A and B are shown apart, each in its own frame.
Chain A
Amino acid sequence: MAIKSSLRNMVLVLTLVCLGASAAVAVIYSVTKDPIAAAATAKTNKAIEEVVPAFDNNPSEEVLNIAADLQKPDETNKVYVAKKGGEVVGYAVESTTKKGFGGPFTIMVGFTPDGTVYNTSVLSHSETPGLGAKITDKSSHFITQWNGKNLTDGSVNLSVKKDGGDIDAITASTISSRAFCDAMEIAANVFSNITSENK
């Protein structure tokens, strides 16, 4: 039933099939392009809303790229600036730690302008379900203990109590807790770099 496998036929058919397939993908791509971008922005905006006080600008459009370590200016973190009535009410700092138990994870930390943590939110992670994944439990003590702490004036030792710090770790998930502290420290460094640059 199939046609003869001559070189001409094979080249022709493969080319046509590839053309057809790419045309189909191209059409779908153009159709879904805007919804995909919208979904990504919606996700970022939702995370920002969670971690900073109420604002009326569009923080996704006011992004600063700030390095956590001024010695390494290439490794920047995204900082979303939230404003209300033209006045800055908070900064949402994206921060990624490589020390997670199941690989790197990314959190968003909201600071009020004086360096106090307003709220935090986990953007993506691959921690163990039921153990390290408790970092996503917004009502747990581990997450809420950060709120209201000032990370920039040196009053808080950013490590878990087992290591002599001020932070209560998640039971049986010391590694994830340490990684979370690491991410918070990066965020705090980024925050102090913003304020020093924008003064």
Chain B
Amino acid sequence: MNTLIVSPSPHVHGKESTRKIMGDVIIALLPAVLVSIWFFGLSAIHLVCVSVLACVVFEYFIQKVLMKKRSTVGDLSAVVTGVLLALNLPVCSPWWLILIGAFVAIGIAKMSFGGLGQNLFNPALVARVVLLVSFPVLMTGTAFHAPETGYLFGNSDLASAALDATSGATPLGFVKEQLAKGVSMQEIMATPGLSYTQLLFANMGGSAGELSAVALILGFIYLLCRRVIKPWISLSILATVFVFAGILYLGDSSKYVDPVFHVLNGGLLLGAFFMATDYVTSPMTAKGQVIFGIGIGVITVLIRTFGAYPEGVSFAILIMNATVPLLNKFQPKRFAEEAQKK
């Protein structure tokens, strides 16, 4: 890079480097994918395959047929979106739900804004939120108390049977309900299937990607080692959630969820490690990234604690996505400083 190009975020330098980064992200997501396949078997494989395939096909089709341009499917970004989308959906999602999600992610959230690098919001998250608002019963009614074997390919009878059996209880939703009834946190944690060890390794609740905190942490460490992402966003999100939830918990431990549960549960780790750190939709400077992370943390806890939905990570990240241009404007990147580091 001899010529100095001054341009606003995002900076995608070329096909090769994008491809390399995306490849690393896919590798980092593998542990989480493998854990969900380990527990849910065929249905998890089905979910990931349909999602990735649909994202790639939609991207190719829109670029080739509608925009009549050279397709950029080769940069693997559609694959990453597909994997992230799959990890954000319940394992027993029917095929049409995945297709709608892929279409929203690629068609609406990415291509309508001008493709990779132009999108304001994280495509996989937009898809998740659209589906969550559209099909709340399907999206929150996931198998909570551990189906031992996976549902077979798109077998909706089995899936709906499981839905009836567990009717809308992700661990967070379950805890929120119990707290509303006046059951204390200690008593709730005694419920079979809800322990911190289980949260760490396999908690069986929520979306495919929320199964195991350890798998997600492994992926995060890989990304850090490969220097694909900097830790500021993720760490500031986790710290904020922990501190904010901790203050509430210390204030009245009978009414609020304890901070460890908050951090280990739901999509927080997935969101903090893989969704919030998306290059295109996060601020460029370290200071901007910390502000971004704190915002996500605060909004997440607010929604989880006081909102109508049990989970708020995806909403929080999308809301903060919208502030990124502003954060970049107030925190312009210092070119000299960046150059020296290199």
Contact = CB atoms under 8 A, between A and B. Distances in A.
9 nearest A-B pairs in the assembled complex, by CB-CB distance: A172-B137, A172-B136, A171-B137, A172-B168, A162-B177, A163-B181, A171-B167, A131-B136, A172-B140
Interface string B79-113: 00000000000000000000000000000000000
Interface in A81-132: 101, 131
A168 B140 CA distance: 18
B308 interface: yes
A172 B132 CA distance: 11
A171 B168 CA distance: 8
A101 B136 CA distance: 15
A164 interface: yes
Size bin of chain A's contact surface: under 10
Given A162-B177, A171-B141, A172-B137, 14 more contacts: A101-B308, A131-B136, A162-B181, A163-B180, A163-B181, A164-B181, A171-B137, A171-B167, A171-B168, A172-B136, A172-B140, A172-B141, A172-B168, A175-B308
A158 to B, nearest CB: 16
12 contacts: A101-B308, A131-B136, A162-B177, A163-B180, A163-B181, A171-B141, A171-B168, A172-B136, A172-B137, A172-B141, A172-B168, A175-B308
Interface string B112-144: 000000000000000000000000110011000
Contacts of B308: 101, 175
Interface string A158-197: 0000111000000110010000000000000000000000
Contacts of A131: 136
A25 to B, nearest CB: 42
A181 to B, nearest CB: 14
Contacts of A163: 180-181
Contacts of A101: 308
A101 B309 CA distance: 12
Interface in B276-308: 308
B272 to A, nearest CB: 27
Contacts of B141: 171-172
Interface string B139-183: 011000000000000000000000000011000000001001100
Contacts of A171: 137, 141, 167-168
B298 to A, nearest CB: 24
A172 B167 CA distance: 8
Contacts of B136: 131, 172
B174 to A, nearest CB: 10
B139 to A, nearest CB: 9
A132 B319 CA distance: 25
Interface string A23-34: 000000000000
A101 to B, nearest CB: 7
Contacts of B168: 171-172
A171 B165 CA distance: 12
